[in-house]
Amino acid sequence: MAEPSRVITALRRSVRVEAAPGPVPGRPARTSVLLNPRRLEVLLAAASYPGIHLRSLSRLLLSSLPALRHHVGVLEAEGLVRTVRRGRRAHVFVTSLVPPREEAFLLILGDPVDRRVIVRVGAGPGAGRRELAAGLRMPRSTLDRSLRRLETAATLRVTRRSGRARVWPSAAWRRFEASCAEAAEGRIARFAAVLEKQGLHPAVEPSEPGRARILVDGPRGRLRFVYVANPLLAPAAA
């Protein structure tokens, strides 16, 4: 059984990368940029954590930022990923997997504080700030900053009555939640098409809803990994 070359421990844990038995099919005349092991890692990470910023990606892949920027640049030139700037951060998305209208919500999921807050608000709509802070065990100052960001991003809305503020998920966020589940199968098909176009001979295996096991050609053999197509089911990034 071939051992996946340089597929690092953190990524192996997050998307369950493992070697798969069987020979590698013949290579196409044009060698894929994804046969570079680091670039394959970057693509898998960006698919699993849509909108991950470069520093988080660097920690996840145990790679220096200059080297990572080089590989992201190669993938971007190939049309496989795109980078989106928010302030001083550059966020990486796999091209064709995420519609631009969902980018802001995916960036929220990538922030550990904002993610905790919106998940809590979704589970208990109409809660007050004091209840949220107590339930999250979060300082009020941290919560208030997060609520301002989330309200600005139209992720939640705040109602005020009799001097008391209550927090609700926005209709746009509820639509995003629904689309994450409804669009999962389409994302799996589009990601498989990306890998097929690169000559990696993907084979999609049945899995639980919102996820798929995919076999691809790796640098030294076939690899199997889990692609989480529903971003709400993805684990938190490093």
118-177, pLDDT tens digit by residue? 999 999 999 999 999 999 999 999 999 999 999 998 999 999 887 788 999 999 999 999
Alpha-carbon distance of 61 to 74, in angstroms, equals 17
What size, in residues, is the chain? 238
Residue 97 in any domain: the answer is no
Q: What share of the chain is helix, strand, coil (3-state, %, to 5)?
A: 50, 20, 30
Residue 155 in any domain: the answer is yes
- Which region among 15-24, 89-98, 141-150, 189-198 has the lowest average model confidence (pLDDT)? 15-24
Residue 171 in any domain: the answer is yes
Query: How many separate domains does the chain show?
Result: 1
Instruction: Give the CATH number for residue 160.
Output: 1.10.10.10
User: Is residue 199 within 8 Å of residue 27, measured between CB atoms?
Assistant: yes
Quote the pLDDT of residue 13.
58
Residue 108 in any domain: the answer is yes
* Range ranked top by mean pLDDT from 16-25, 43-52, 158-167, 212-221: 43-52
pLDDT single digits (tens) 37-93: 889 889 988 998 899 999 989 988 888 999 999 999 999 999 999 999 888 889 999
Domain range holding 121?
104-175
Q: Residue 190: what residue type?
A: R
